[in-house]
């Protein structure tokens, strides 16, 4: 929306080279793309086939060999949360993703970690378990989402008035999570249970850059179902 028109022409010089190694269905690479789009940073996107990783990806992230990786003027930065902070510190134009206040920054980092280590990790458990184990994981993720719901309650965004670091980290709730739940045929996440998160999602959807990071639904459902089928046949 407005940010783009204000900042698109003056964010960076012509000699900058920004590349993102990502995977279309990954909430981690989508968040890197969203941050770059919000800041108005042009980048080249390189789609990785995770079953056959490119030599370039391995070169840029030899330790974990995972997406996403940001390559800025030849320097590579892996790990999405690390990349988000790098983007915010390198391109100081709006939106500023992390507040200048050390306490607010600590809180933002706390929630980002909570989302990655608790919610996304439990969501994976929900996907790859069955029966009682899955029921337990569903309860667990519901409790975790309630904590997040409580955090966004009464605020426009997690960071306050504008979209920021935690909003970008939580962006998987806008498209990815709903698709996952539909593919799994479960109903954890509804407007009825999480009115404040859904209000926040509606706000996100009005931002053009968020919409540009939309994960194509049909393709995503097919992708999840294929992975689940492969998992089930492997675990039999």
- Tokens 């783009």 belong to which residue? 4
Residue 65 found at the interface with other proteins (CB under 8 A): no
Residue 58 found at the interface with other proteins (CB under 8 A): no
Residue 99 found at the interface with other proteins (CB under 8 A): no
Could you say which residues in the range 145-164 bind other proteins, by CB under 8 A?
A: 147
- Tokens 């931002």 belong to which residue? 207
CB of 23 to other proteins, least distance (A): 19
Beta strand ranges found along 43-146 (DSSP E): 44-47, 69-72, 75-78
Could you say which residues in the range 108-147 bind other proteins, by CB under 8 A?
A: 109-110, 113-114, 147
**Segment interacting with other proteins (CB under 8 A) among 21-29, 77-85, 131-139, 192-200:** 77-85
Residue 103 found at the interface with other proteins (CB under 8 A): yes
- Which of 48, 85, 95, 170 is close enough to bind other proteins by CB under 8 A? 85
Q: Name every residue whose Cβ is closer than 8 Å to that of residue 138 and which is 6 or more positions away in sequence.
A: 126, 186, 188
DSSP assigned state of 19: E
CB of 109 to other proteins, least distance (A): 5
The smaller minimum CB distance to other proteins, of residues 94 and 121, is found at 121
- Which of 17, 44, 47, 89 is close enough to bind other proteins by CB under 8 A? 89
Residue 231 found at the interface with other proteins (CB under 8 A): no
The smaller minimum CB distance to other proteins, of residues 74 and 185, is found at 74
- Which of 2, 10, 75, 206 is close enough to bind other proteins by CB under 8 A? 75
- Give the bridge partners for 10, in sequence order: none
Q: Name every residue whose Cβ is closer than 8 Å to that of residue 63 and which is 6 or more positions away in sequence.
A: 78
Q: What is the rounded distance in angstroms from the CA atom of residue 178 to the CA atom of residue 82?
A: 26
Q: What is the rounded distance in angstroms from the CA atom of residue 80 to the CA atom of residue 34?
A: 11
Q: What is the rounded distance in angstroms from the CA atom of residue 10 to the CA atom of residue 22?
A: 26
Determine the Cα angle at 67 with ends 113 and 148, to 5°: 25
The contact set with other proteins (CB under 8 A) reads 63, 72, 75, 77-79, 81-83, 85-86, 89-90, 102-103, 105-106, 109-110, 113-114, 147
């Amino acid at each position: 929306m407005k940010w783009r028109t204000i900042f698109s022409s003056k964010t960076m010089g012509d000699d900058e080279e920004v590349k993102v190694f990502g995977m279309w269905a990954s909430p981690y690479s989508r968040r890197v793309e969203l941050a770059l789009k919000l800041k108005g940073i042009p980048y080249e996107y390189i789609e990785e086939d995770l079953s056959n990783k490119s030599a370039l990806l391995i070169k840029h992230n030899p330790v974990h060999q995972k997406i996403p990786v940001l390559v800025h003027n030849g320097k590579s930065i892996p790990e999405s949360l690390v990349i988000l902070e790098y983007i915010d510190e390198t391109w100081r134009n709006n939106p500023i993703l992390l507040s200048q206040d050390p306490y607010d920054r600590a809180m933002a980092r706390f929630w980002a970690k909570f989302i990655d280590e608790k919610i996304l990790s439990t969501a994976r458990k929900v996907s790859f378990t069955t029966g009682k184990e899955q029921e337990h994981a569903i309860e667990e993720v519901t409790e975790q989402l309630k904590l997040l719901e409580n955090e966004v309650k009464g605020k426009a965004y997690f960071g306050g008035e504008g979209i920021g670091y935690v909003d970008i980290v939580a962006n998987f709730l806008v498209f990815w999570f709903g698709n996952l739940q539909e593919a799994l045929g479960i109903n954890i996440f509804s407007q009825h249970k999480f009115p404040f998160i859904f209000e926040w999602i509606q706000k996100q959807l009005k931002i053009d850059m968020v919409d540009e990071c939309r994960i194509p639904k049909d393709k995503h459902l097919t992708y999840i179902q294929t992975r689940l089928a492969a998992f089930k046949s492997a675990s039999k």
